[in-house]
Structure 1
Amino acid sequence: MKIRPVILCGGAGTRLWPNSKNHQAKQFIDFGNWTLLGKTLERTKASIYDAPIISTNKKYLSKVKQHLRKNKISKYKIVVEPAKRNTAPAILSTALIKDIPDNQPLMFFTADHLIEKMSIFNKAINKNKFNLNENNIFVFGIKPKSPTSDYGYFLTKKIKGNINKVTRFIEKPKEAKAKEIIKKNGYWNSGMFYLRKDSIINNFKKYNPTIYRNCLAAVNKAKYKSNTYHLNKSSFIKATAKSFDYAILEKTKQINAIKLDIPWSDLGSWKEILKMYDKNKSKYVKKKNVFYRPWGKYTNLFEGKEFLIKELFVKPKGILSLQKHHHRAEHWLVTQGNAKITLNKETIIKKPGEHIFIPLEAIHRVQNPGQKPVKIMEAQVGSILKETDIVRFQDLYGRVSKK
């Protein structure tokens, strides 16, 4: 029996757009002729997988169908949620549709993750297919590249059959604590799950019968049309809004881990997005988008909807003007050298790998006090992303805005 991939595609992406009413869901953002949902759908074309099932909401249904057409996927099922109820009801109601036999292995992908080296990932999934039973759950751990508080972690111990049993989950620790966890061979918790349909049912019946009862009614009363299940609203809204972690993972003892050492990110912050562009910038650089300034140069790498990605190159002793913006906030990720940053009344030194957020209307500047160039990846986020949206207060090169 093949593995059925289920893609959870209901997230709103509000973390990336704190000041925007019309924020874009992360999985649909065009990052340069590709989207995270498109990459996720591409993954499901591997020979180990059956036709995908996508869990989404009414608002995103047309975008999901567009992506399926673009990726030439004609066999699929969509489960439409009538209200937001977090991942526990989403996972359960998707698993309950009649297309899935009880012992079918289900691989739950999140639509907004970036995963590389999929051959290693798929090999690990296939290998563990025979370790699935009617009660256990496999979660995916990623070997940390550095201590960070952006992700949760877990610890494991080896049990019979060379299986890694999860002994403890740690939710987004502070950096010092993360260093300790990594020393104990802790892994990032990727938030992807692998289990059989009967395991989902048995775990919900045991640990969250209310969610089970209401999701079952929502599926049984669903309207089915054009490969799409529209879940019954009156039943679904009675299901408690809970994450799968809180509803099930915190309660069951039968959690195992598949540990992977592959490039992975959920692109959940502009810092992670900037890292991704920095890693792949050769694909985006065009000579006509390089602009020279007295302090160095900048390169426009990619302009998306309400965001612009740039790389700044600040020469030794170079100083940008002290400035602010009315229409955009900025995220900076230092990739080379030590940057001296003014943010309102504060002066901060940022080293390679460190990030800083420049809010809308904040007075700021960057300078390079050192002997080596400073490089910064910048994300401008806002409604106007032009050089005209610069109000200068001080400038070594005579470019102060006239009052």
Structure 2
Amino acid sequence: MKIRPVILCGGAGTRLWPNSKNHQAKQFIDFGNWTLLDKTLERTKASIYDVPIISTNKKYLKQVKQHLKKNKIKKYKIVLEPAKRNTAPAILSTALIKDIPHDQPLMFFTADHLIEKMSVFNKAINKNKSNLTDQNIFIFGIKPTSPSSEYGYFVTKKIKGNINKVTKFIEKPKEAKAKQVIKQKGYWNSGMFFLRKDSIINNFKKHQPIIYKNCVNSVKKAKLKDNTYYLNKVSFIKATAKSFDYAILEKTKQINAVKLDIPWSDLGSWKEILKMYEKNKNKYIKKKNVFFRPWGRYTNLFEGKNFLIKELFVKPKGILSLQKHHHRAEHWLVTQGNPKIKLNKESFVKKPNDHIFIPLEAIHRIQNPGQKPVKIFEAQVGSILKETDIVRFEDLYGRVK
């Protein structure tokens, strides 16, 4: 029996646009003729997978269908949530549809992850297919590249059959704690799950009977039209809004881990997005988008909807004007050198891999006091992303009006 991929595609993307009413869901953001949902759908085309099921909500139905068409996926099912109830009801309701046999292995992907080396990933999944039972759950750990406080972690121990059993979860620890967890061979919790349909049912019956009862009713009364299940709203909204982690993973004892050492990110912050653009910058560079200034130069790499990605090159002893912006905030990722940053009344020196957030209307400046160039990747986020949105207060090069 092939593995059935289920794509969870209901996230709103508010983390990237905290002050915006027009925030874009992360899985649909165009990063340069590709989206994270494109990448996820591409994953499901591997030979080990059956046709995909997409769990989303009504407001995203049109965008999901556009992505399926763009990726030439003709066979699929969509399960539509009539209200936001977090991942536990979404996962259970999708598993309950009649298209899925009782002992079907299900691979739950989130629609907003960037995963490389998919052959390694798929090999690990296929290898563990025979280890699935009607009770256990496999989760996916990624070997940390740094002690990040943006991700949750877990720790494992080896048990019979060379299986890694999860012994402890650590939720988004501070950096110092994250370092300790990594020393204990902790892995990032990627938020992907691999389990059988009967395991989902048994775990919800045992640990979340109210969610189980209401999701069963919601699926029983669902309407099927054009490959899309419209879940019953009256029943679905009675299901408690809980994450799958909180509802099931924290309560069940039979959690195993697939540990992977592959490039992975959920692109959940502008820092991660900037790292992605830095890694792939050669795909985005065009000579006509390089602009020279007295302090060095900048290159516009990609302009998306309400965001612009640039690379700044500040020559030794170069200093930008003291400035602010009315219509945009900025995220900076230092990739080379040690810039001196002024932000309102504070001044500080940063090092490579440091992230700096410049809020709307904040007065700021970049200075390179060193002998080597400084490079900074910048994400401008806002309604106006033009050079006209610069108010200068001081400038070495006579540009203050």
Please classify the TM superposition score into its range, dividing by the shorter chain length. over 0.9
**1:124, CA displacement in angstroms?**
0.2
- The alignment's C-alpha RMSD in Å is 0.4
**1:46, CA displacement in angstroms?**
0.2
Count the aligned residue pairs.
401
Amino acid of the structure 2 residue aligned with 1:324: K
- Alignment of 1:51 with 2:88, yes or no, is no
d(CA) in 2 for partners of 1:15, 1:82? 23
Amino acid of the structure 2 residue aligned with 1:242: K
d(CA) in 2 for partners of 1:100, 1:31? 34
d(CA) in 1 for partners of 2:69, 2:289? 33
Q: Which residue of 2 aligns with 1:16?
A: 16
Question: Sequence identity of aligned pairs in percent?
Answer: 87
**1:271, CA displacement in angstroms?**
0.3
- Alignment of 1:77 with 2:55, yes or no, is no
Q: Which residue of 2 aligns with 1:34?
A: 34
Q: Which residue of 2 aligns with 1:230?
A: 230
Amino acid of the structure 1 residue aligned with 2:188: W
d(CA) in 2 for partners of 1:23, 1:184? 38
Aligned counterparts, 1:267-282, within 5 A = 267-282=267-282
d(CA) in 1 for partners of 2:195, 2:370? 53
Q: Which residue of 1 aligns with 2:377?
A: 377
- Alignment of 1:295 with 2:301, yes or no, is no
d(CA) in 2 for partners of 1:214, 1:349? 55
**1:102, CA displacement in angstroms?**
0.6
Give ranges in structure 1 of 5+ residues lacking alignment.
none
**1:350, CA displacement in angstroms?**
1.2
d(CA) in 2 for partners of 1:194, 1:340? 47
Amino acid of the structure 2 residue aligned with 1:310: K
d(CA) in 2 for partners of 1:79, 1:253? 29
Determine helix, strand or coil for the equivalent of 1:14.
coil
**1:7, CA displacement in angstroms?**
0.1
Q: Which residue of 2 aligns with 1:173?
A: 173
Amino acid of the structure 2 residue aligned with 1:143: K
Give ranges in structure 2 of 5+ residues lacking alignment.
none
Q: Which residue of 2 aligns with 1:122?
A: 122
d(CA) in 1 for partners of 2:375, 2:261? 28
- Name the TM-score, length of structure 2 as normaliser: 1.00
Amino acid of the structure 2 residue aligned with 1:109: F
**1:20, CA displacement in angstroms?**
1.1
d(CA) in 1 for partners of 2:137, 2:362? 47
Q: Which residue of 1 aligns with 2:182?
A: 182
Q: Which residue of 1 aligns with 2:103?
A: 103
Aligned counterparts, 1:88-167, within 5 A = 88-167=88-167
Amino acid of the structure 2 residue aligned with 1:62: K
d(CA) in 1 for partners of 2:111, 2:349? 36
- Alignment of 1:389 with 2:389, yes or no, is yes
d(CA) in 2 for partners of 1:206, 1:349? 54
d(CA) in 2 for partners of 1:338, 1:108? 42
d(CA) in 2 for partners of 1:54, 1:12? 15
**1:33, CA displacement in angstroms?**
0.2
Determine helix, strand or coil for the equivalent of 1:124.
helix
**1:339, CA displacement in angstroms?**
1.1
d(CA) in 1 for partners of 2:154, 2:115? 19
**1:22, CA displacement in angstroms?**
1.1
Amino acid of the structure 2 residue aligned with 1:345: K
Determine helix, strand or coil for the equivalent of 2:238.
coil
Deviations 1:12-64 (A, max 9, x none): 00010112101100000000000000000000000000000000000000000
**1:348, CA displacement in angstroms?**
1.6
Q: Which residue of 2 aligns with 1:63?
A: 63
Amino acid of the structure 2 residue aligned with 1:301: L
d(CA) in 1 for partners of 2:80, 2:232? 9
Amino acid of the structure 1 residue aligned with 2:109: F
Q: Which residue of 2 aligns with 1:247?
A: 247
- Name the TM-score, length of structure 1 as normaliser: 0.99
Determine helix, strand or coil for the equivalent of 2:108.
strand
Q: Which residue of 2 aligns with 1:356?
A: 356
Q: Which residue of 2 aligns with 1:336?
A: 336
d(CA) in 2 for partners of 1:4, 1:256? 19
Q: Which residue of 2 aligns with 1:264?
A: 264
Amino acid of the structure 1 residue aligned with 2:83: A
Amino acid of the structure 1 residue aligned with 2:133: N
Determine helix, strand or coil for the equivalent of 1:377.
strand
**1:204, CA displacement in angstroms?**
0.2
d(CA) in 2 for partners of 1:168, 1:354? 30
